């Protein structure tokens, strides 16, 4: 995926899948809502996320914010 600036990616995590949606700094949708099966999560992350992305996770019991840094992105490749 091309690095074209900061994006904010929201992940609503469920038992077998997540729903992902992304916006840029101006709140323009840059990643339309999509369902990702957790069995495909690693490949989806490799082709979709960039080093500039900020990722917010929502799970039934937890919400947290993560920053994709060089080490984590490199580990995904």
The domain that holds 63 is classified in CATH as 3.30.420
Residues 21, 41, 48, 33: what is their CA dihedral angle, to the nearest 10 degrees? -20
The whole-number average pLDDT for the span 8-16 is 92
Residue 44 within any structural domain of the chain: yes
Per-residue confidence at 67, pLDDT binned at 50, 70, 90?
Answer: low
Residue 1 within any structural domain of the chain: no
pTM of the model: 0.71
d(CA 55, CA 65): 6
Residue 23 within any structural domain of the chain: yes
Reply yes or no on whether the pLDDT at 6 is more than 80: yes
Measured at the CA of 52, the angle between CA 35 and CA 8, to 5 degrees, comes to 45
Say how many domains are in the chain. 1
Reply yes or no on whether the pLDDT at 3 is more than 80: no
d(CA 68, CA 34): 20
């Amino acid at each position: 995926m091309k690095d074209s600036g900061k994006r904010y990616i929201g992940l609503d995590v469920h038992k077998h899948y997540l729903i992902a949606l992304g916006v840029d700094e101006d709140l323009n949708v840059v990643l339309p809502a999509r369902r990702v099966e957790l069995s495909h999560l690693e490949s989806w992350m490799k082709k979709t996320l960039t080093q500039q992305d900020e990722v917010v996770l929502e799970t039934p019991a937890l919400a947290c914010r993560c920053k994709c840094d060089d080490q984590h992105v490199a580990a995904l490749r």
